[in-house]
C-alpha cells in the first residue's frame, strides 16, 4: 500500500509561522467516518437515511406536519420533467429551512481568480503544451474557498454548458461558514491532505487516492485535519457525472457502482450566530448571514447526493497481446453531451496495472486529439514522462496539440527491444480530465511562476531513426 506524503513536504514555514499555523489548522470535530461500513453504498441509487429513527415521513414526502417538527425541503438536481432515468432530487428533513437567511451580498474582498464564463475578456487561448510545477501552499491562513482558483475551462455556467478546471491550496479549516456552488458539480481530487467534508446529507472523509463529487447546490464545509492541503477540482455545468457504458466489456469492470459511498444523515442543532453561507453564482461569490448551521438535516431520502470513491478499487482493463489501448478504457466517470460517445468531461485514471503486450511500444502512443486533456498526478510517476511531471503538478494538451512520451521514455522503451517481459506499473496514480470543448486558460495560470517553460525540451531530443532501404537497392 502506498503511503501518502505528510503535508510538511510542501513549503515549510518558519517556526513562528508554524506555531500559528497549528492554531488555525485544527479541525472542529473528529467525528468523521473512516470505514466503508460507515457509509451507504451505490451509485445513482435512491437512498434513505435518518439519524433519529422515525424522522423520515411515511408514505409521502411533504406531510402537513413532519415527524419531530422538522421542515420538508426538496433539492432538485434536474428539471422536474427530466426523464425518470435521468431525474435527480432529494428530500431533506431539517430543523430550519435553508431559506432562513439574510439577503445575499457580494463577498468582500472579491475573489479574483474564479471563472465560470470563459471568454476573450477573462481568459486566453494557447495551443502550446503547458506544464505546471506543483503549487506551494501559502503561508498566510487560507481555507478551501480562498485557496480555490480556476486554471482553464470552456463554456458558461449561465448557458448551462461547459466546464472549469480549478486547483486549490489551503492550510486552514473553514470556520463558521459553508460553501454552495450554484454553477455546477465539483469533482475534487485531493493530492495532499485529507478533507473532512460536512454536507447537508452527512459527513465524508476524503483521503488522497479518493475523489468526492459535490453536486450543484449542496452546502458543504471543508476541514483540514492534516493541515496544508492541495488538490484538483473539475466543475461541470448543466449536467451530472455518470458511470460510463461498458459495451463489449460486459456487466463488470472499471468502477463498480457498489464502491461509491454516500454519507449517512447527521445533524447540528446548536445555535450558530453569524454563520455565513458563501454562494458561488456565475463565478462570483456572495455571502448571506444566518443564525444556525446549514447541516441541520436530521433525515433525507433521494438520489441527488454527494458521494466519494476510492480509486484503488478501480478494475482496469488492458491489452493482452499487441498495441496500446486508448485511455478511454480507464474512464471512472463521464459527463456526457447530447452527441453519443462525446463527453463534456471524462475523468480517467492511470492506476497500477500490468503491461504485457508483445512487439508493442507500451507507453502511451504519440497523439493528436480532437479532445483536450488536462492531467494531474496524485503520487508516484507517470509512465510517459521520465521526469519533470511531479505529484501536485499538472499539464494541458489542448485540441490537436501533439503530445506523447518524452525522449527518455522513448529511448528506454526502444532499448528493451522485443524481449521485454511482463511489467507491473506500481505506486502511481495519474489522472486526466478530458473534454470535447477547447479550453481557454486563465491569465494567472499562464503567467504563474510555476509554469514549466522548458516543458517542450522533453521532446526536442527525439531523433530520427528512419532507415531508407531504397538507397541500398538498384
Q: Which of the residues are catalytic?
A: 324, 367, 373, 397, 403
| Number of residues that this document lists for the chain | 474
Q: Note whether 350 and 330 are within 8 A (CB).
A: yes
151 three-class SS: strand
All three cell numbers of 263, joined, read 454519507
Q: Distance of CA 44 to CAs 87, 92, 234, 261, 305, Å? A: 10, 17, 20, 11, 9
Q: Note whether 163 and 235 are within 8 A (CB).
A: yes
Closest-CA residue to 350 (of 251, 433, 446): 433
Q: Note whether 243 and 257 are within 8 A (CB).
A: yes
- The C-alpha cell 431539517 sits at 94
Quote the CA–CA distance of 219 and 199 in Å, as a whole number.
6
Q: Distance of CA 329 to CAs 175, 274, 332, 347, 429, Å? A: 41, 49, 9, 11, 15
Q: What is the CA radius of gyration of the chain?
A: 24
All three cell numbers of 390, joined, read 511531479
Quote the CA–CA distance of 337 and 238 in Å, as a whole number.
10
Phi, psi of 276 (to 5 degrees): -115, 130
Quote the CA–CA distance of 410 and 434 in Å, as a whole number.
24
Q: Which residues contact 466 (CB under 8 A, 6 or more apart)?
A: none
| CA quadruple 123, 125, 126, 131: dihedral sign | positive
Amino acid at each position: 500500500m502506498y503511503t501518502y506524503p505528510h503535508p510538511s513536504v510542501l513549503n515549510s514555514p518558519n517556526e513562528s509561522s508554524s506555531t500559528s499555523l497549528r492554531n488555525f489548522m485544527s479541525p472542529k470535530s473528529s467525528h468523521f467516518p473512516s470505514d466503508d461500513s460507515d457509509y451507504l453504498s451505490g451509485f445513482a441509487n435512491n437512498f434513505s437515511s435518518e439519524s433519529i429513527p422515525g424522522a423520515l415521513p411515511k408514505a409521502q414526502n411533504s406531510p402537513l406536519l413532519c415527524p419531530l417538527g422538522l421542515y420538508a425541503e426538496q433539492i432538485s438536481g434536474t428539471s422536474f420533467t427530466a426523464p425518470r432515468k435521468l431525474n435527480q432530487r432529494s428530500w431533506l428533513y431539517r430543523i430550519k429551512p435553508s431559506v432562513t437567511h439574510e439577503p445575499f451580498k457580494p463577498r468582500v474582498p472579491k475573489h479574483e481568480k474564479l471563472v465560470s464564463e470563459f471568454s476573450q475578456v477573462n481568459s486566453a487561448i494557447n495551443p502550446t503544451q503547458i506544464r505546471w510545477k506543483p503549487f506551494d501552499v501559502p503561508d498566510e491562513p487560507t481555507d478551501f474557498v480562498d485557496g480555490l482558483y480556476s486554471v482553464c475551462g470552456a463554456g458558461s455556467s449561465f448557458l448551462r454548458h461547459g466546464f472549469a478546471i480549478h486547483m486549490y491550496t489551503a492550510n486552514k479549516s473553514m470556520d463558521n461558514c459553508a460553501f454552495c456552488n450554484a454553477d455546477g458539480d465539483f469533482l475534487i481530487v485531493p493530492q495532499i491532505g485529507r478533507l473532512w467534508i460536512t454536507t447537508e446529507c452527512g459527513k465524508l472523509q476524503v483521503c488522497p487516492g479518493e475523489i468526492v463529487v459535490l453536486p450543484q447546490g449542496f452546502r458543504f464545509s471543508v476541514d483540514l485535519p492534516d493541515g496544508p492541503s492541495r488538490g484538483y477540482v473539475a466543475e461541470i455545468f448543466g449536467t451530472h457525472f455518470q458511470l460510463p457504458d461498458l459495451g463489449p466489456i460486459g456487466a463488470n469492470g472499471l468502477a463498480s457502482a457498489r464502491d461509491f459511498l454516500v454519507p449517512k444523515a447527521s445533524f447540528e442543532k446548536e445555535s450558530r450566530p453569524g454563520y455565513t453561507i458563501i454562494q458561488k453564482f456565475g463565478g462570483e461569490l456572495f455571502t448571506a448571514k444566518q443564525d444556525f448551521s446549514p447541516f441541520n438535516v436530521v433525515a433525507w431520502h433521494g438520489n441527488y447526493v454527494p458521494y466519494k470513491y476510492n480509486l484503488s478499487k478501480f478494475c482496469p482493463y488492458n491489452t493482452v497481446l499487441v498495441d496500446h489501448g486508448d485511455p478511454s478504457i480507464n474512464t471512472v466517470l463521464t459527463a456526457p453531451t447530447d452527441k453519443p460517445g462525446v463527453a463534456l468531461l471524462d475523468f480517467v485514471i492511470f492506476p497500477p496495472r500490468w503491461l504485457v503486450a508483445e512487439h508493442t511500444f507500451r507507453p502511451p502512443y504519440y497523439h493528436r486529439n480532437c479532445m483536450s486533456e488536462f492531467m494531474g498526478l496524485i503520487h508516484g510517476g507517470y509512465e510517459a514522462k521520465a521526469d519533470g511531471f511531479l505529484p501536485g503538478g499538472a499539464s494541458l494538451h489542448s485540441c490537436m496539440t501533439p503530445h506523447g512520451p518524452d525522449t527518455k521514455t522513448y529511448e528506454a522503451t526502444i532499448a528493451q527491444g522485443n524481449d521485454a517481459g511482463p511489467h507491473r506499473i506500481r505506486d502511481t496514480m495519474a489522472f486526466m480530465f478530458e473534454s470535447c470543448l477547447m479550453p481557454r486558460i486563465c491569465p494567472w495560470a499562464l503567467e504563474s511562476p510555476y509554469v514549466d517553460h522548458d516543458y517542450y525540451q522533453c521532446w526536442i531530443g527525439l531523433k530520427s531513426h528512419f532507415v531508407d532501404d531504397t538507397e541500398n537497392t538498384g
